[in-house]
């Protein structure tokens, strides 16, 4: 029997080999069927593997709430799914949204307060997160200064607030695995996470960047501490003259900033005498020189275990060199903005000008500073205006303790590359780097419709070819 070969058929070689070995017709047919089946199966496996390897994981999301003393800000971050920082993948995190609520959570009292406080921001956040990803979206809250203080003065109330928030978050529909997702963080961690955030946003952690080029960060919150001479009418050099503040004795004595938990009272002050008055009136003096002298009390020469190389609180202070650069944000930024408005000048690039303008503004009385403020659009809120003098003199003193007397290497900002600076991103990046942050996600082993069509065409072609070969054989 003679066989005519189909011109260009990819099975010519196989058939020729079969004829050379003088195989029976049945064996040839079986070989052809087996080969065609294996080819089709290999095609199917190849396409499935291609789909599996090229599967685009949906984005991951995380909600982080920065619960500060004056308010809370809710952030949504996202990054490409299927990556693991723990395994060394290069993860790029984006900020999608942020939402602010006031006051701080330390002012909340009931479960209903908590629900009303968070609902608006969480509802807005939900719009950015696909429904099928919500059960993989961590919801995290870390509280800072306000709750740290409340935890000292009224731990029972602090614990209640946290428990209400934990319960609310556990019912939110987002991923809530542990009560550790709602907690108070200490100042050291807050500073570290802010440093991570700032350098991440400025791309100082990229693979091509020398680690020595990372920038330091300066973050600030502050409280007014005023010494007392036991009379109900107290002169306050750090406040504007013609400004009087009423402060209750309980506020003075129970504040962690004045009862020894953070700063210590001047040992010459008799606390029992202070308690004899129910409140005190602090009369401003508009005396920046005297205020600077009194601020020395907040920064006494510390005991230092590092050959006098300490800033304060026995913390080692390395010598700064020209390469050391800093981002200054939070109160550094907001106080600078207010000072520039009142001075009508750009101050953030010139430390000496900032210093001289601060002293000039602090020498004005409250009526004069209010008159300037009334012409501003928008105006500075009075609660911030009346403490502007103290804050800026405090900042000057604080920077000097860090050996910073120039703004040449300091950028006073609130955003980097359009991202808000704060500790929240650094906190979340730390969590992402943990192995158990998210359960591993396995992509579905399926072939989408767009892959089925070429596969079916291929199999149909194989079937037609198979029939033609059989016709030739028979």
Residue 67 has pLDDT above 80, yes or no: yes
pLDDT value of residue 4: 39
Beta bridge partners of 140: 64
Of residues 229 and 162, more confidently modeled: 162
Q: Please state the rounded mean pLDDT for residues 376-405.
A: 90
Quick one: which of 46, 52, 55, 44 has its CA closest to 452?
44
Measured between alpha carbons, how far is 250 from 255 in angstroms, rounded to an integer?
Answer: 8
Q: Residue 113 and residue 380: Cα distance in Å, rounded?
A: 29
Predicted local distance difference test score (pLDDT) of residue 451: 56
CB atoms within 10 A of CB 148: 20
**pLDDT at position 428:** 85
Token duo for residue 250: 């309980």
Distance CA 3, CA 25 (A): 11
Taking a C-beta distance cutoff of 8 angstroms, is the pair 61, 132 a contact? no
- Fill in the DSSP letter of residue 421: -
What residue ranges do the domains of the chain occupy?
12-55+446-473, 60-202+423-432, 233-416
Of 60, 95, 124, 190, which residue is the catalytic one? 190
Q: What pLDDT was estimated at residue 80? A: 85
How far is C-alpha 107 from the geometric centre of its chain's CA atoms? 23
pLDDT reported for residue 454: 63
Strand 326-328, strand 216-218: pairing: parallel
- Residue 445, φ and ψ in degrees, nearest 5: -90, 85
| 288 vs 213 pLDDT, higher one | 288
- Residue 278, SS3? coil
Higher-scoring residue by pLDDT: 282, 199: 199
Measure CA 282 to chain center: 38
57 has pLDDT over 70: yes
pLDDT tens digits along 279-324: 778 788 899 998 888 888 777 776 788 877 887 777 888 888 777 8
Q: State pLDDT tens for residues 97-153.
A: 999 998 899 999 999 999 999 999 999 999 999 999 999 999 999 999 889 888 888
Least confident of 26-35, 55-64, 309-318: 26-35
Task: Using the predicted structure, report yes or no on whether residue 446 has a pLDDT greater than 60.
Answer: no
CA distance 139 to 125: 11
Cβ neighbours of 395 (radius 10 Å): 22
Is the Cβ–Cβ distance between 332 and 340 less than 8 Å? Answer: no
Of the candidates 94, 54, 56, the one whose C-alpha atom is nearest the C-alpha of residue 78 is 94
Number of helical H runs and strand E runs in the chain: 16, 13
pLDDT reported for residue 223: 44
Spell out where 26-108 has E strands. Answer: 60-67, 72-79, 94-101
Q: What percent of the chain has pLDDT over 70?
A: 70
Per-residue model confidence (pLDDT) at position 229: 44
Contact 401, 409 (CB under 8 A): no
Sheet containing 138-143: order of strands: 94-101, 72-79, 60-67, 138-143, 182-184
The yes-or-no verdict on residue 461 having pLDDT over 70 is no
The answer to whether 292 touches 395, Cβ cutoff 8 Å, is no
Q: Is the pLDDT of residue 457 over 70?
A: no
CATH number listed for the domain at residues 60-202+423-432: 3.30.420.40
Residue 401 pLDDT level (bands cut at 50, 70, 90): confident
The region that residue 364 occupies, defined by phi over 0 for left and psi between -120 and 50 for alpha, beta otherwise, is beta
* In the predicted structure, residue 411 carries a pLDDT above the cut 90: yes
C-beta neighbour count of 473 within 10 angstroms = 15
Pick the CATH number of 233-416 from 2.60.40.10, 3.90.650.10, 3.90.550.10, 3.30.420.150: 3.30.420.150
What tokens were used for 417? 């590359």
| 285 tagged catalytic | no
Rounded CA separation 268/407 (Å): 38
Q: Are strands 94-101 and 216-218 parallel, antiparallel or unpaired?
A: unpaired
Specify the range with the lowest mean pLDDT, choosing from 5-14, 76-85, 116-125.
5-14
Average pLDDT, the chain: 79
pLDDT band for 54, please (50, 70, 90 cuts): low
Residue 224 has pLDDT above 70, yes or no: no
Mean pLDDT of 243-250: 76
Q: Do domains 60-202+423-432 and 233-416 have the same CATH topology?
A: yes
Is 77:428 a contact under the CB 8 Å cutoff? yes
353 has pLDDT over 90: yes
Mean pLDDT, residues 246-258 taken together: 65
Strands of 202-331 (E only): list them. 216-218, 233-236, 244-248, 279-284, 326-328
**Better-scored residue on pLDDT, 253 or 239:** 239
Nearest-angstrom CA–CA distance, 364 and 383:
17
């Amino acid at each position: 029997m003679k066989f005519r070969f189909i011109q260009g058929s990819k099975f010519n070689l196989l058939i020729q080999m079969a004829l050379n070995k003088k195989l029976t017709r049945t064996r040839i047919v079986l070989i052809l069927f087996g080969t065609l089946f294996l080819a089709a199966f290999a095609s199917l496996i190849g396409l499935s593997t291609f789909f599996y390897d090229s599967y685009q994981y949906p984005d991951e999301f995380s909600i982080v709430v920065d619960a500060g003393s004056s308010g809370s800000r809710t952030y949504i971050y996202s990054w490409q799914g299927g990556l693991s920082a723990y395994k060394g993948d290069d993860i790029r995190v984006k900020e999608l949204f942020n939402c602010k609520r006031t006051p701080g959570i330390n002012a909340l009292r009931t479960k209903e307060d908590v629900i009303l406080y968070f609902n608006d921001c969480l509802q807005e956040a939900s719009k950015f997160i696909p429904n099928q990803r919500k059960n993989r979206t961590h919801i995290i809250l870390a509280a800072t200064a306000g709750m740290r203080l409340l935890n000292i003065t009224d731990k029972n109330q602090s614990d209640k607030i946290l428990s209400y928030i934990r319960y609310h978050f556990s019912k939110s529909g987002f991923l809530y695995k542990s009560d550790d997702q709602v907690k108070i963080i200490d100042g050291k961690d807050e500073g570290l996470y802010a440093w991570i955030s700032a350098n991440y946003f400025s791309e100082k952690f990229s693979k091509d960047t020398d680690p020595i080029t990372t920038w330091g960060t300066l973050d600030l919150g502050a409280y007014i501490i005023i010494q007392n001479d036991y009379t109900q009418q107290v002169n306050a050099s750090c406040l504007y003259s013609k400004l009087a503040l009423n402060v209750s004795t309980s506020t003075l004595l129970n504040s962690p900033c004045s009862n020894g938990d953070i700063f210590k009272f001047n040992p010459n002050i008799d606390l029992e005498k202070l308690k004899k008055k129910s409140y005190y009136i602090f009369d401003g003096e508009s005396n920046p020189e005297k205020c600077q002298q009194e601020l020395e009390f907040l920064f006494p020469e510390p005991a230092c275990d590092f050959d006098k190389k300490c800033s304060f609180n026995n913390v080692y202070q390395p010598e700064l060199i020209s390469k050391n650069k800093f981002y200054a944000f939070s109160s550094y930024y907001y106080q600078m903005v207010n000072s520039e408005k009142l001075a009508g000048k750009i101050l953030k690039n010139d430390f000496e000008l900032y210093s001289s303008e601060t002293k000039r503004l602090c020498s004005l009385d409250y009526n004069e500073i209010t008159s300037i403020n009334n012409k501003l659009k928008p105006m500075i809120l009075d609660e911030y205006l009346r403490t502007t003098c103290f804050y800026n003199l405090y900042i000057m003193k604080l920077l000097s303790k860090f050996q910073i007397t120039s703004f040449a290497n300091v950028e006073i900002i609130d955003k980097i590359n359009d991202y808000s600076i704060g500790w929240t991103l650094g906190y979340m990046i730390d969590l992402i780097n943990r192995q158990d942050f998210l359960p591993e996600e396995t992509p579905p082993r399926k072939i989408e419709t767009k892959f089925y069509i070429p596969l079916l065409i291929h199999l149909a072609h194989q079937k037609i070819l198979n029939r033609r070969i059989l016709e030739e054989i028979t």
